[in-house]
Structure 1
């Protein structure tokens, strides 16, 4: 793996971002040990003090643990963080993001099916509003991802399962992170467009509107599988 020399007044912040990106890419997995300060300084071609400052910042937000005499280790993403809005932002590695997709498959496919059975007019209005925002969004702002989250939360509401709604709301910040990454990769993929992404959400909505649980289930599963596949291809590319 090659590293470019970093040129910036805020060297430690850029080193921090580089290490975060290494974790996202899976170059170092949760539970694994980072290279030493000396090695990182050599790789990034920066001072050891800049590396130490970057590591201190990462430790402060819970991304790494520094064990005296043992080294620096990458923490596993603690999904219980979403239950406490006061806890700091955390990054999610590829492995953890794929695990979240497994949870989404279990929860949201079933939620779409329930929503098709139980939805009320106000639920459809929530979905329509989210779709309208999604359609108007460009690929350069965060309106699209916010609308994406709102759409999926509206489906949970339409399921009229209070526990489902609570869990989805608690996961909303984490979902927003994965949706941001998904949309970023999606937009940079030659075969994917915002229009296709919108259409997949529209198909889910129409199935729910038509009170067709089987169709809603298939539409949601197809959407989640496509997003996951696009993410994987983007990582590999």
Structure 2
């Protein structure tokens, strides 16, 4: 057993990881610069010899981290980024593959409760404006009977920004894309109740606006309790 303890499991890269790595290497080497347009989804699919779903998932992750941006009419473009920071960030993008949903949600809860407490103490007028806009965007989607997953996560990211803790925000950005993907696949919002979240978002926002960290943390715990329970049940299936 002592000899076996010195061995490490072989990590096999997924197609999404390989796509992200190649795009990263091209940006770092200077072959892709801020403002450059990536080839079309079809051409990338043919070049990488993978299905378009893998291309879309890789682009979605890179976009979520602010490395590329998508214009529905024009295509996908490289955004400006600090190369040193991007190296570490893309490494983190590729670390979580086929994750334990419960562990992701549990980690998210720890981070979100800390973030909302700090947001209540540190938010400024610009933060409150951004949070109000994110709240309204979520509510608009609910009124239109459209899936509000993206607006939900935007609201939570704005809370992380209002906490003025860049490490906390980065950690959330590492776990949120994978959680969002599972949310979509499992229709989590439908299971935990969109309209209930509608009210909870407003309660959280008002507590942050009032500068009450204890009340903000209380509302955040209540807001995340349903999805935490959902992920716990899913783990035990």
TM-score (normalised: structure 2):
0.55
Partner Cα distance (2:115, 2:92) in 1: 28
Bigger relative contact order, structure 1 or 2, given CA contacts below 8 A and separation 6+?
2
Q: Does 1:158 align with 2:144?
A: no
> Is the 8 Å Cα contact of residues 106 and 228 (structure 2) preserved in structure 1?
no
> Is the 8 Å Cα contact of residues 131 and 159 (structure 2) preserved in structure 1?
yes
Deviation string, structure 1 residues 67-118 (Cα, Å, up to 9, x no partner) = xxxxxxxxxxxxxx97329978x8645xx11101121122110110010001
RMSD of aligned Cα (Å): 3.6
Matched with 1:168 is 172
Deviation string, structure 1 residues 4-62 (Cα, Å, up to 9, x no partner) = xxxxxxxxxxxxxxxxxxxxxxxxxxx9xxxxxxxxxxxxxxxxxxxxxxxxxx96447
Partner Cα distance (1:119, 1:149) in 2: 18
Partner Cα distance (1:236, 1:99) in 2: 13
Matched with 1:216 is 216
Alignment of 1:12-161 (within 5 A): 60-61=15-16, 83-84=89-90, 92=98, 96-138=100-142, 141-142=146-147, 144-161=148-165
Aligned residues, how many? 158
> Is the 8 Å Cα contact of residues 116 and 213 (structure 2) preserved in structure 1?
yes
Q: Does 1:200 align with 2:204?
A: no
TM-score (normalised: structure 1):
0.55
Change (3 A) 1:91 1:155: same
Partner Cα distance (1:181, 1:101) in 2: 15
Flag structure 1 segments of 5+ consecutive residues without an equivalent. 1-30, 32-57, 63-80
User: Of 152, 176, 181, which residue of structure 2 is paired with 1:177?
Assistant: 181
Shift of 1:181: 4.8
Change (3 A) 1:140 1:178: farther
Change (3 A) 1:141 1:86: farther
Matched with 1:226 is 226
